[in-house]
Structure formats: C-alpha cells, structure tokens
Structure 1
Amino acid sequence: MKNSALALHSHSASVTTFNGLNFSYWCEQIKFHLGVLDLDVALYSEKPTAITEASSDEEKSYYKHWDWSNRLGLMFMRMNIAGNIKTTLPKIENAKELLKLVEESFQTADKSLAGTLMGTLTIMKFDGSRTMYEHVIKMTNIAARLKSLGMKVEHNFFVQFIINSTPSEYGPFQINYNIMKDK
C-alpha cells in the first residue's frame, strides 16, 4: 500500500499540470502514467455491477480492481489539474467521466491553440535575434505541439515553411534546395 502511494506520487510529479490549454498533452500523460501503474481499468471500462453474495470470486476481484483503479485514477487526475480549473469541475466519482468532462470542456481551447500555433508557424520569420539552428528548433517545437493537438504538419510543407521564413540573403540556399528536391 505504501509503495503504491509512493509510486502514484512519483508519477504524478512528472505529469504536466492541466492548465486549460494543454488537454491533449495532459491526457496523453495521464493515460500513460495510469497505464504504467495499472490504474487505467476505470478509464477504459464501465463500472461493473455491484457485487452481491451470488457474485463469483472473479467478479468480486474485478470489481475491487476497477474500484481501486477508479479511486486512484480520480486522485491522480485531480492532482494534475490547476486549482482554478479544479474548483469549476463538478464532483464526479468516475475517472472515465471526469476525463470525458475535461475533454468536452476544454476541446475548444485545444482547437484555438492549434489555430494560433499554425498561424505562428506560417508567418514566422528569421530575424537574426537567435541562431538559425535555434530558429529551426523553435519551428520544429511548434510543429511537434501541433502534432500533439492532432494536426500533423507534413514534412515537405514544414521544410517549405522553414525556407520561406528565411530572409532574402538566404536566396541562394532556397534556390539550391528547390533544385535538389526536384531531382
């Protein structure tokens, strides 16, 4: 029991706090960590029927496992939601329902963020305030963030975004790249 609590706390400390703008990334981390801890049963299955005297040992065992998964899964999720959001959520006693509610409530924020990131990526220009390497890494990070939000940026388009973001003195590089890609 003590080891379970320690493992839960340790995993929780490495999960990004849900802040209202990072649902996709947060949800992915929650599902991964609960899976590693074998606490994801309640996320993927409905609550089993209550156990009775007539219930088999297998049914009793499954109910106990589901209940354990649900209670700790709820705690784990709540531990990783920002306080200002946590206070707005209704009291829910089912981990699967809590995850669904958070997704429905903040799905539009993810879509809005994706639009903002796509806009940033397409108009981004190299201004010399950092190295070209840092500029490309920043664009790569934006593309990775878009992917985590369900918007994959195709490789050829991404390379073109990078090339288009360079100033006119990189013209010879742009020409050479276009010649090489056509071969």
Structure 2
Amino acid sequence: MSKNSLILIVETHKFNGINYNDWLRNLRIVLDFKNQGYVLDKPLPTALPEGSSPEERLTFEKWHEDNRKVRSIILASMTNEIQKQYDRLDDVPSIMLRMKEIYAVPDWHIRYATTKAFFGTKIAEGSSVQSHGVQMLSLVEKLEDLKAGLNNDTYIDMILESLPPFYDPFIVNYNINGLKKSIHELINMLVQYDATTHKSEPTVLVGEASTFKAKEKGAKRWKRKKGNGTAVTATASTGGKGHWKRECPQLLSNLGTFVVEVNMISNSASWVLDTGCGAHICNDLQVLERSRKLSKDEMILRLSDGKVVAAEAVGLLA
C-alpha cells in the first residue's frame, strides 16, 4: 500500500462527528499497516528511567516519533471544526480518550440495533439468495463481535425464517433430516437449491393456436381465385365504406382470440383480465408468491385487440 493510498483513505473517511466507529476502523487499518497502531491504546511514556539501556532509549524515541506522526494523521482526518477541539493536545491517547467520551456509540446501543436488523431482515423482492445470505452473514459477524450471546442454531433458524415460501421445501428437508451446517454451508446450499429449482422450471410459451384439418384422400386442391378478395358491403360499423373481407375490422379483431390458455385465474384486482388473451396479465409483482424474470422475447402474448406484447416475468398468485 503506497503513501498516496493511505492519504486517500484518510481523506475519504474524515471524521465528521457522527461516523466515529467507521472513522476509527479505517484509522486502525492505516496505522496497522504502518506498525503504529499501538500508539492509540498504550499510554505515552513521559521519561526514561535512570540507567536505561540503548535499546530502551531507541524504543522511547521511536514511540514519541510515532506519536507525533499518528497525531498528525488523526488531526488531518477530521473536519476543520472538530480539528480545532484537539489540536492543543500533544499525546494521541489523550485525544482518543476524549473522542471516545463524546462520540463513541455505546456497545449496548449497537448490539440492540444489529440484533433488531438481523431478526427483522427479509429477502427483498427480486434479490438473489446469495446477496441476502451475505447480508445476514455480515450481521452475524457483528453480533459475534458484540458478544450478543446467540448460538449457531439460532442464527440458522433466523436465516431460514427470513426466506420466502419458495424455499419451504428446502426448509422442510433441512429440518426433517436434522442437518447441522455452518452459516457458510447453509448459504451455499441455498444458492445451489435456487439455481437448480429455477433451472428445472418449465418455460411457458403463449402463442396463437392454429386449427388443422386433414385433407381427405382424393380431394381436389383448392386454388385461390384471381382478384383482390371477397368484397363486403358498407355497414354502420365501417363508417358507411365498403372493404375487402380480409380487411374487415370485426374479422381482424377475432383473429387474436384463438390462443393457448395458460396462467388463468378467476378474479383479482391486481390482474388485467383480457378475455381475448390466453394469459392473465399481472400489473403488480408484489402479489406473486413466486416469480421468474424472462429474457427478451422469451414469452410473447397476443391480446384480444391484435396487439403483441412481450412478458417481463411469470409467477404464481400469492
């Protein structure tokens, strides 16, 4: 790590009065790299005892030199207003003690907030189980550092509790077989289950169905007569204008009604019920118990008015 990198860390994570824990963590990273972290916690020796050895004298001089350098780093990593409160103090332990008294968040408060976040976190809609597992693992590590007193079984139970109903078969299998896994192993199992289950789900395609009638043996092949088509007389629905049969609005509107029927439900306020389309179109992913995003043009729907639209996701109604 270069000096420029150290300076960048200090400048990027300046202490502003509300980020004490994050600032202290980054400060220790910098000082540990420079082998000067001991200056933060140990009292600065004020004088050498009589009869000190040359080695003890060198240690004393280095300690004071490191104290001077660390003090400069600490003051440089503060905002100007906060910096003025400590620039008259010479030894680093005195600076750190005063900062802790004023700005440090009590451990009980951090422990309460972290525990609340861990027990209340649920996997977000559309997010991967791997990202969710990493988030839960990070909270577990914080609770361990704070000595929250929770064991591995409790962590596992709460991670399983945070999953949606899609993972119910996995949870049942895990509990019935009495599996005992670490958190890392559990997350890997969930990722494999998620990938395997989604990969095995069938792809539902919706398209226009075609009717077919076998030609009778010996029947003559029909040939289209020359001309533009069958004429239709003017009606009120056509605005009093005549048109060819193949251009009839009523005929064209009925062409899209012969489709494969999938994803059908009886009634829901969150669904657009298009009787001409064979699939019910959901306008709110939140009502789906399970959903899967589709790739471009993976599922094409033809609506009753003849329009063709591409579906973005398929799922089961909650």
TM-score, normalised to structure 2's length?
Answer: 0.45
Q: State yes or no: 1:38 paired with 2:29.
A: no
Matched, 1:66 2:55: no
Match of 1:101 in 2: 98
Question: Over aligned residue pairs, what C-alpha RMSD do you find?
Answer: 3.6
| Structure with greater strand percent | 2
- The residue that corresponds to 1:3 in the other structure is none
**Range 6-15 or range 97-106, more displaced:** 6-15
How many correspondences in the alignment? 178
Tell me what 1:162 maps to: 159
Q: CA deviation at 1:70?
A: 0.6
Which consecutive unaligned segments of at least 5 residues does structure 2 have? 181-318
Q: CA deviation at 1:93?
A: 1.6
* Residues 1:11 and 2:6 are matched in the alignment: yes
Deviates more, 1:117-126 or 1:51-60: 51-60
The structure carrying a bigger helix percent of its residues is: 1
Higher relative contact order (CA 8 A, sep 6+): 1
Q: Aligned pair in 2 of structure 1 residues 173, 48: CA closer, same or farther (>3 Å)?
A: same
Q: TM-score, normalized by length of structure 1?
A: 0.70
Of 133, 139, 143, 1:142 maps to 139
What amino acid is aligned across from residue 112 of structure 2 in structure 1?
G
**Kindly tell me: are residues 143 and 81 of structure 1, through their superposed partners in 2, closer, same or farther at Cα, counting changes over 3 Å?**
farther
Does residue 119 of the first structure (1) align with residue 138 of the second (2)?
no
Identity of aligned residues (%): 22
Q: Indicate yes or no: 2:172 matched with 1:179.
A: no
Contact 1:19–1:82, Cα closer than 8 Å, also in 2: yes
Which one of the candidate residues 51, 73, 76 is aligned to 1:76? 73
Distance 1:59 1:116 in 2: 46
User: Which blocks of at least 5 consecutive residues in structure 1 are unaligned?
Assistant: 1-5
Distance of 1:179 and 1:85 partners within structure 2? 58
Name the larger-Rg structure: 2
- Please tell me whether the aligned partners of residues 20 and 109 of structure 1 are also in contact (alpha carbons under 8 angstroms): no
Q: Aligned-pair distance for 1:69?
A: 0.9
- Tell me how far 1:80 sits from its aligned partner: 3.4
Deviates more, 1:65-74 or 1:143-152: 143-152
Cα distance, 1:116 vs. partner? 1.7
Rounded Cα–Cα distance in structure 2 between residues aligned with 1:45 and 1:26: 19
